[in-house]
Structure 1
Amino acid sequence: MKKTLLLLTVAVLILGSCATKDKFEIGDKTFLLNGQSFVVKAAEVHYPRIPREYWEHRIQMCKALGMNTVCLYIFWNYHEEEEGQFDFSGQKDIAAFCRLAQEYGMYVIVRPGPYVCAEWEMGGLPWWLLKKKDIKLREQDPYFMERTKIFMNEVGKQLADQQITRGGNIIMVQVENEYGSFGTDKPYVSEIRDIVKGAGFTDVPLFQCDWNSNFENNALEDLVWTINFGTGANIDDQFRRLLELRPNTPLMCSEFWSGWFDHWGAKHETRSASDLVNGMKQMLDRNISFSLYMTHGGTSFAHWAGANFPNFSPTCTSYDYDAPINESGKTTPKYYEVRNLLAQYLSEGEVLSEVPDSIPTIAIPAFNLTEVAPVFDNLPEAILSEDVKSMEFFDMGWGSIIYRTKLKASSVNQTLVITEAHDWSQVFIDGKRISTLSRMKGEGVVMLPPVAEGTVLDIVVEPMGRMNFGKGIYDWKGITEKVELKSQDKGEVLKNWEVFCLPSKYSFTKEKNYKTGNIAEGVPAYYKGTFNLDKTGDTFLDMRTWSKGLVWVNGHGIGRYWEIGPQQTLYVPGCWLKEGENEIVIMDMASPSDAKIAGLRQPILDMLKGNGAYTHRKLGEELDLSGEKPFYKGTFKPGNGWQQIKFEKSEKIRYFCIEALNSHDGGKYAAIAELELQGEDGKNISRQHWKVLYADSEETNKANNIASNVFDLQESTFWHTDYSTINPAYPHQIVIDLGEEKVITGFSYLPRAEQNKPGMIKDYCIYMNMKPFKK
């Protein structure tokens, strides 16, 4: 009996020791894993952007690259699509993803938000929060905090027991996400920290990430501080202020941007592999940990792609990101350059695992979609509403919406004014399309012809992703304010609407009255077809003959397409295909030129059509400052980092112009990463309504260095003058409409972050006006 008790006691001690033997903690200038110095080499990947069947393959790819950790966001709106209905099963089983990473010896960093950004719909926040019109998101709004706590507790149920001290592989957990670019509110960040702890994340370090320019705004004493920046950045400068405040802290770049994301209508983004590898080497040589964002971007399937802010800029379905592992999980030249670097920083006795084989790709011969169901012939039951209201009011998160009313007789032309239609709209009179309006271009006015009594007005609105950054997260969809009809001096707000909701669910699209027929010319329609396969594999649907819309294959939401590009194909994972017959359904908003489709072996991610680029200068347009007197003249200091200039007097203005006169290197180029204007109180004014009215030169062919980058809230993107010979010489000007009258007392300027790059402005003039500048 005594022997049995002794054995039981020893067993309990051994089990207890095993359960607590692993530990990750903060040491002196380093992270410690079980007491030993540890450099985090994390690969950022997002489980919703990878089919579950491919999770293992992508984790193996990250391991073979030389990474020791997987970093991932948790997307609140992905797990709670409807309020109170949580789903962590199947594709959404985050615990299974973490366990799979552990099987391959990979640790995990969890970033549960509640806000995550990630170019994801509404930054991960659920759309149904917007049903509460007065809600304050990412603030201590009682309802928002209540729902955040409920969500975080659900995450804790899934993952708290997978912390490293409990036998799992989670080594760090993030609190909120880049809050400094949203606001300054330590009480809010503190409450989020407490909610994360209350969900059970008490055994591993908690950290917060921001940029080196704003991390102090919300920095909490009991959290690890990390910095986000991109390729080409001056590594020492990025951490200089942090080390002044915490000389003994371990350093980490929690997002080292390997590439960038794509916007509809703009060139495909790429970043230099050599700059990426050089930055990683500098960090490794300094014992600085990092997470490579992205190591594998994947795909924003279905409706999950978001939009950037300011200036509504929807992001593409492909989240390729120019990452080392491309959208479909294949290696790139960048992959092998990173792998060769990381092979030099292995622990003693460690070897790189073999790179797993790529998933096979297949081509699918072109076939026709022969069944058609025009939207106007397949409308759901109407909802009656006196006023137009946003889509959320009608309890719909994603899809399209139609507003219908009847017009009074008019013998003259009238102006239809739609205030805030989000995001792409078509106007029909008695079933005939008369106009298309794009939020990207700020369009909202249509000229109506004379109409008879009872003429039917239809406004079809296709929302794209909700904005995922800054104050843009308040992004109601549909028509969000009003519709007016104006004639001469008269005007009236239109009333008495029939509203038709068209959800973006496969279950809704499949049950239409499909008939064999031709293209439904000029109207939105559903198209259906089938194709047969002898074998399966990844493929890329060629969408070049289609206009704009959504695709489903075998019930899976593949994502959005838009003829303007740059993305012209949609990635279809082979695991979602089957031998034999496969079904495809397309909702095309404006009718294709040819209702056929094919599957390609390679994607097309960089083909723009039409006037897709966001240029800010019309052909032949010249800014005329000859009659203007500079409000301020100055000289910028050379080097990186923010520079703030205070004017000798304040001025009430609406229009701001910066004219660059020359550069520090004597070259012909100019570049600016960010501009801020200070108000009467000395604080930065809101840039939410800013618009670029003119830029003498912008690079749109080799990169997306457009002028609106100076207020896109992203310090790693910048305006750069045209690389070609088109109008390259100084002076260079940008004119900004603030969208409202403001008293200005100064401004701040941030040059591009990369070291030793052209475009560092030296001398400049500032012009400010209440009226637009002459052109």
Structure 2
Amino acid sequence: MTIKKALLLSFILFSHICLKAQKVTHSFTLSDSSFMLDGKPFQMISGEMHYPRVPREAWRARMKMAKAMGLNTIGTYVFWNLHEPQKGKFDFSGNNDVAEFVKIAKEEGLWVILRPSPYVCAEWEFGGYPYWLQNERGLVVRSKEEKYLKEYETYIKEVGRQLAPLQVNHGGNILMIQIENEYGSYGGDKDYLKINQRLFKEAGFDGLLYTCDPPEAIANGHLPGLLAAVNGIDNPGRVKKIIRENHGGKGPFYVAEWYPAWFDWWGTAHHTVPAENYTGRLDSVLSAGISINMYMFHGGTTRGFMNGANYDDKHPFEPQISSYDYDAPLDEAGNATHKFMLFRKVIAKHLPVGMTLPPIPAAKPTIAINNIKLNESAGILDILPKPVLNKTPLTFEALNQDYGFVLYHTTVTGGKTGILKLNELRDYAVIMVNGKRVGVLDRRHKQDSIKLTLPVGKVRLDLLVENLGRINFGPYLLKNKKGITESVVFNGKVIYNWAMYSLPFNRVSGIAFKPAKAVNSPVVKKGTFTLSKVADTYLNMEGWGKGVVWVNGHNLGRYWSTGPQQTLYLPAEWLKKGRNDIVVLELLKSDVNSLNGSKTPVLNKLQ
């Protein structure tokens, strides 16, 4: 062997030894009473935070805030509809880079609880399921049905490629992985849960698996042999009793979702819960050695069209708002709240001996951007793509469209007054006659009919239908198609021969704008504003009606004058010095051409 070869071989061996030394694996196991990390008792003080609800550029800053409050762990779902938006096309880039989210948590000294179940609930569109599952004939979510399991397997193996190497037993920081999600509230098929367990293991998740359910559903939802975590209670005695009853008479004891607050939906007052109501309860749970995952520690924002909705036979359709502030310890913009401060004091009492909390990062600066002018516009009827023609109206799903809007167009004979009825409208429709808005229908109020007087002659009838968010919880997961899902009737007669125009608004860069002019129909408006410095801000939409806002191509979410949310959070990370572009889709108040910013949010104003 030459000296050169010998040196090369030595270098290769040395590099291999160094790499092995860097990859320190840990053990994470269960004792009868506690979690064991590297053989020592470990109490998880975790907070839920979802990577798509926070700009990627801000992940690290939010995690520093978690450490400052005393958390040692972060919990997150994995969202199937983000990662496989169309069948067979996967996306783990940009804000979908969940592996990078986990790695940043490790760099910041945080462990991770991973919840990659295909169903997440989470006030998220279709509970995390991709819309296209509904196009698979016979597919039944959350079941042993063959087509569902095939798609589920494909998805979870892709997730496994991204995240299985980051488990604690492989040198990463993922402590535990949850299978399914509150399944006991939906069904009780233990064979289905066993299939979940098998698929997770085949995907590479060979660490500690667990289930979680509320107390009344835990008997249905847990799988013998796995830790049965409980959600939504914090009485120490009750927590321990329920888990023992479902885990062979022993612990450890884990509240997988501890709720110090709640979410909001359109038309209902903003939910807030005083921190003082929860400090004593947090103290008692931690004093009892119980581990918790705070849902939410930081809610963030449900961007774009990804909000879900609640609906059952007793409650109206309730689509959730874009803000996921949740009255959480960390507010929508990532700043510490009064609740954060009080919880931090409680957690500080339970730190290991000799450990102190890092200082709280300063609140982020804010600016108010006033008098933003939108001087260009494009009427919705002027930007229509090529239509799909059909005798009867087609759903979003039949058009292979996920979110946004569909415009249904037809021509009818006028000179009549009668009732126009949209059977099974889902969810919101702007009605236009000869290009002018004449009314709206809103599923929230069980509205499906409007009285119309049509002028004499051939009349253009346009129905702009918005998907307000697919149901994310309960028995109606299987009845989640959008658009006009049955028929349109006028004066008792079915209307046929429709042209359907898909308007998903997944981007607004290709719209041809002209100088703004007065119209009485939905309109897209464009403007610019110039900044000498960037900082967080809020766009106040109180003078507007209903729609969506994009800044520099980023969809900030929906606004709706009905409230309670009246502002849209605009993070500093998406602004730039100099010129910034803003686009607004407005459905109801076409004559508004300017808006103002605010340094603070308005999340509690109903109109």
Q: TM-score, normalised by structure 2?
A: 0.94
Whole-angstrom CA distance in 1 between matches of 2:467 and 2:170: 44
1:400 aligned residue (401, 405, 408): 405
C-alpha change, 1:276 and 1:194, in structure 2 (3 Å) is same
1:485 to 482, 490, 503: 490
Amino acid at match of 1:71: G
Q: Distance in 2 between matches of 1:290 and 1:435?
A: 49
2:337 counterpart residue number: 332
Counterpart CA distance in 2 for 1:286 and 1:519 is 65
Secondary structure at the counterpart of residue 322 of structure 1? coil
Question: 1:270: which partner in 2?
Answer: 272
Report which of the two has the higher share of helix.
Answer: 2
Structure 1 residue 109, shift from structure 2 partner:
0.6
Offset at 1:546?
A: 1.1
2:389 and 2:500 in contact (8 A); partners too: yes
After superposition, what is the alpha-carbon deviation per residue over 1:13-59, rounded to whole angstroms, capped at 9, x for unaligned?
99878756511011121110011111111111001010011000000
Q: 1:226-375, aligned counterparts within 5 Å?
A: 226-229=229-232, 234-245=235-246, 246-310=248-312, 311-375=316-380
- Correspondent of 2:602 among 592, 604, 608: 604
SS in 2 for 1:544: coil
Q: CA deviation at 1:133?
A: 4.8
Q: Quote the Cα distance in structure 2 between the aligned partners of 1:463 and 1:359.
A: 34
Query: Match for residue 523 of structure 1?
Result: 521
> Residue 206 in 1 paired to residue 209 in 2?
yes
- Letter paired with 1:253: V
What SS does structure 2 have at the residue aligned with 1:57?
helix
CA contact (8 A) 1:375 1:526 kept: yes
SS at match of 2:485: strand
The reply on whether 1:224 has 2:224 as its aligned counterpart is no
Check the 8 A contact 1:178/1:211 in 2, yes or no: yes
Between 60-69 and 241-250, the greater mean CA deviation after superposition:
241-250
The one-letter amino acid paired with 2:67 is: K
Aligned partner letter, 1:596: S
Between the aligned partners of 1:457 and 1:12, the Cα distance in structure 2 is 70
The one-letter code sitting in structure 2 at the alignment partner of 1:169 is N
- 2:562 partner letter: I
Match of 2:556 in 1: 558
Aligned-partner residue type, residue 599 of structure 2: R
Query: Aligned partners of 2:95, 2:55: CA distance in 1, in Å?
Result: 7
Match of 1:107 among 108, 111, 117: 111
Letter in 2 for 1:391: F
Aligned-partner Cα distance in 2 for 1:137–1:208: 18
Describe the shift of the 1:7–1:360 C-alpha distance in structure 2 as closer, same or farther (beyond 3 A): closer
Q: Secondary structure at the match of 1:42?
A: strand
Which residue number corresponds to residue 745 of structure 1? none
Distance in 2 (CA, whole Å) between partners of 1:324 and 1:445 is 43
Residue 275 of structure 1 aligns with an amino acid whose one-letter code is: N
Question: How far apart in 2 are the matches of 1:45 and 1:271?
Answer: 19
Instruction: Name the aligned partner's letter for residue 309 of structure 1.
Output: Y
Partner residue in 1 for 2:503: 502
8 Å contact from structure 2 (residues 235, 285) kept in 1: no
Residues 1:165 and 1:440: Cα distance change in structure 2 (over 3 Å): same
Letter paired with 2:405:
S
Shift of 1:244: 3.3
Aligned to 1:175: 179
Deviations 1:234-280 (A, max 9, x none): 44334433323433210110000121001111100011212222221
Which residues of structure 1 form unaligned runs of 5+? 610-775
The equivalent of 2:134 in structure 1 is 130
Structure 2 CA distance for aligned equivalents of residues 138 and 339 of structure 1: 38
Q: Which moved more, 1:10-19 or 1:413-422?
A: 10-19
Inter-partner Cα distance in structure 2 for 1:432 and 1:90: 40
Equivalent positions of 1:20-59 (< 5 A) are 21-59=25-63
1:18 and 1:537 mapped to 2: Cα distance? 38
**TM-score, L = length of structure 1:** 0.74
2:192 alignment partner AA? Y
CA distance in 1, matches of 2:16, 2:439: 75
Q: How far apart are the structure 2 equivalents of 1:593 and 1:472?
A: 38
User: What is the alpha-carbon distance in structure 1 between the residues aligned to residue 509 and residue 282 of structure 2?
Assistant: 48
Q: Work out the CA distance in 1 between the residues paired with 2:500 and 2:385.
A: 9
Secondary structure, counterpart of 2:113 in structure 1: strand
Unaligned runs of 5+ in 2: 2-6
Contact kept in structure 2, 1:540 and 1:599, CA below 8 Å: yes
Q: Secondary structure at the match of 1:123?
A: helix
Going from structure 1 to structure 2, the CA distance change for 1:276 and 1:133 (only over 3 Å counts) comes to farther
| Letter matched to residue 546 of structure 1 | W
Query: Conserved in 2, the CA contact under 8 Å of 1:76 and 1:151?
Result: yes
Q: Percent identity?
A: 38
| Equivalent in the alignment of 2:443 | 439
Pick the aligned partner of 2:194 from 190, 194, 211: 190
Tell whether the 8 Å contact from 1:545 to 1:593 is kept in structure 2 after alignment.
Answer: no
**C-alpha deviation, 1:350, in angstroms:** 1.2
- Does residue 119 (structure 1) correspond to residue 123 (structure 2)? The answer is yes
What residue number does 2:382 align with?
377
Deviation at 1:435, TM superposition (A): 2.2
Does the 8 A contact of 2:111 with 2:173 survive in 1? yes
Q: Residues 402, 355 of structure 1: CA spacing in aligned structure 2 closer, same or farther, 3 A cutoff?
A: same
Query: 1:549 aligned to 2:565?
Result: no
Alpha-carbon deviations, 1:334-355, whole Å to 9, x = none? Answer: 0000000111111122111121
Q: Distance in 1 between matches of 2:17 and 2:584?
A: 61
Deviation at 1:498, TM superposition (A): 0.9
Separation (CA, whole Å) in 2 of partners of 1:369 and 1:304: 26
Which structure has the bigger radius of gyration?
A: 1
458-467 or 244-253, larger mean C-alpha shift: 244-253
Indicate the residue corresponding to 2:102 in structure 1.
Answer: 98
Decide whether the 8 Å contact of 1:174 with 1:207 is kept in 2: yes
Q: Counterparts of 2:567 and 2:62 in 1: how far apart (Å)?
A: 22
Letter of the structure 1 residue corresponding to residue 279 of structure 2: V
Instruction: Give 1:535 deviation, angstroms.
Output: 0.3
- Tell me the SS of whatever aligns to 2:232: strand
| Alpha-carbon contact 2:212-2:221 (below 8 Å) kept | no
* Deviation of 1:10 (Å): 12
Amino acid across the alignment from 1:476: K
Q: Are residue 164 (structure 1) and residue 168 (structure 2) matched?
A: yes
2:465: which partner in 1?
Answer: 461
Work out the CA distance in 1 between the residues paired with 2:392 and 2:286: 59
Letter in 2 for 1:455: V
Q: Confirm or deny: 8 A CA contact 1:541 1:599 kept in the other structure.
A: yes
CA contact (8 A) 2:378 2:524 kept: yes
Separation in 1 of the partners of 2:440 and 2:533? 42
How many angstroms apart in 2 are the aligned matches of 1:341 and 1:435? 53
Deviation sequence 1:257-313 (CA, Å, 0-9, x none): 121001111100011212222221111111110000100000001111111222310
Aligned residues: 596
Q: Which amino acid aligns with 1:254?
A: A
Deviation for aligned residue 1:205: 1.2
How many angstroms apart in 2 are the aligned matches of 1:388 and 1:253?
A: 47
SS of residue matched to 1:265: coil
| C-alpha deviation, 1:9, in angstroms | 10
Q: Partner letter of residue 216 of structure 1?
A: A
Q: Specify the SS of the correspondent of 1:359.
A: coil
Q: State the alpha-carbon separation in 2 of the partners of residues 47 and 390 from structure 1.
A: 30
Letter in 2 for 1:549: G
Q: What is the CA-CA distance between 1:115 and the residue it aligns to? A: 0.5
> Aligned partners of 1:364 and 1:544: how far apart in 2?
15
Q: More deviation in 213-222 or 323-332?
A: 213-222
Deviation at 1:459, TM superposition (A): 1.2
